[in-house]
Amino acid sequence: MKIHEYQAREILSRFGVPIPKGIVAKSAEEAVQASQNLGGDVWAVKAQVHAGGRGKGGGVKVLRRLDDVKAFSEKLIGSRLVTPQTGPEGAPVGCVLVQEGVNIVSEYYVSFLVDRVTQQPLLLASSAGGMEIERVAVETPEKIVQVQFDIEIGLTEEKAITVINRLGMPDEVLPQAIEVLMGLWKAYVSMDCTLLEINPLVVTADKRVLPLDVKMVFDDNALYRHPELEVLHDPLQEDPTELRAHNSGLQYIPLGGNIACLVNGAGLAMATMDTIKLFGGEPANFLDIGGGASTERVTAAFQIMVEQPEVKVILVNIFGGIMKCDVIAEGVVHACRNVKLNVPLIVRMKGTHEDIGKKILDDSGLPIVVAETLDEAAQKAIELANKEEK
């Protein structure tokens, strides 16, 4: 789960990380009020969306006049911000963060993440702050510092100092920098984050070490340990189809191809996509209806699939284990009758009550193509999809 920068800042400050002063504003008037309350004569106004690259997309500006704060906030709030990370449809801006302007001397990149290879946390840092880390990795990999450590031991001050020295931070900010890194680590591990990214972390003229931008992503599987985070969820930042799928208990990820897949079990869903790819087809989505799939859930899945204009054929691949084939078959028949099925449907089912399931599909009188093997199902799907494309 992602949260907004203004929310992540609050969490960091609870863990003792100093943050620049800032106030959230939901209207241009509030933004002006916020600037006045913050004082000073420079403010950074930042669109709050669940995507990076806001600077490039025109969602962040450093301003010196209240009129400019007003005009810029007016333009942003209620609009959709397109950044290199959002796609052409952009993300809705519900509010802006007005932040005290800080006098930057140097910028760095710092993040904590999980290294899947070693299954341990990794501290990634770079002296090329403010730049996309992916680009730094390609163009100037020598500027990236990687430090791995044991999750049980955590980040030690010693390791933090090594990183700070390798970044070449000025000596006089060492104590502040240690405090920031240790605080970031504490927040990362305590909140079960999968990513905590500060880009840029800055050293200011008055010798402060401050995160100017915070990206915090939580491990969905650990959310039950943090019920207080639920209120931070912003459904408006999510793809409406993905949100609907999630609310129906479906694991759904759109993939852009033309063969929609409805499968029970994540492993089988992966195998189905692989098989489609193997024969030269393109899956439209990953869709796992899960173990205890009900008729309602199957119907919801069909509804989502038929609404996608790029979908030219639907492939249902079911393994009947605890979930019996006849139950799924009934769900499929019910769903087909309830949604306007406008594309061919191929069903392959194996396992418990397979025969009863197939009979239900046959007796339904619906134009369902039954396949015996996954290979056959994938090949038929590709053939029909190609025909529909013409």
Q: Which residues are catalytic?
A: 109, 197
Pick from ligand GDP, Mn ion, none: which does 54 bind, CB < 5 to 8 A by kind? ligand GDP
99 near ligand GDP (CB under 6 A): yes
Q: Out of 62, 195, 339, 343, point to the residue binding ligand GDP (CB under 6 A).
A: 62
99 near Mn ion (CB under 5 A): no
53 near ligand GDP (CB under 6 A): yes
213 near Mn ion (CB under 5 A): yes
Smallest distance, Mn ion to C-beta of residue 198, A: 8
CA angle 188, 184, 49 (to 5 degrees): 75
Q: Residue 107 or 376: which CB sits closer to Mn ion?
A: 107
Q: Residue 24 or 102: which CB sits closer to ligand GDP?
A: 102
161-200 residues near Mn ion, rule: CB under 5 A: 199
Q: From CA 291, how far away is CA 301, in angstroms rounded?
A: 14
Smallest distance, ligand GDP to C-beta of residue 106, A: 11
55 near ligand GDP (CB under 6 A): yes
130 near ligand GDP (CB under 6 A): yes
44 near ligand GDP (CB under 6 A): yes
104 near ligand GDP (CB under 6 A): yes
Q: From CA 176, how far away is CA 206, in angstroms rounded?
A: 12
Q: Residue 199 or 272: which CB sits closer to Mn ion?
A: 199
Smallest distance, ligand GDP to C-beta of residue 65, A: 15
Smallest distance, ligand GDP to C-beta of residue 80, A: 15
Pick from ligand GDP, Mn ion, none: which does 11 bind, CB < 5 to 8 A by kind? none
Which range touches Mn ion (CB under 5 A), out of 13-21, 151-159, 206-214, 296-304?
206-214
Long-range Cβ contact pairs of 52-57 (< 8 A, separation 24 or more)? 52/83, 52/85, 52/132, 52/199, 52/215, 53/83, 53/84, 53/85, 53/86, 53/132, 54/81, 54/83, 55/130, 56/83, 56/84, 57/81, 57/82, 57/83, 57/84, 57/86
2 near ligand GDP (CB under 6 A): no
- Per-residue x/- track, 197-226, ligand GDP (CB under 6 A): --xx-----------xx-------------
Pick from Mn ion, ligand GDP, none: which does 114 bind, CB < 5 to 8 A by kind? none
Which range touches ligand GDP (CB under 6 A), out of 49-57, 64-72, 171-179, 346-354?
49-57
Residues that bind Mn ion (CB under 5 A): 199, 213
Which residues would be at the binding site for ligand GDP (CB under 6 A)?
A: 44, 46, 52-55, 60, 62, 99, 101-102, 104, 130, 199-200, 212-213
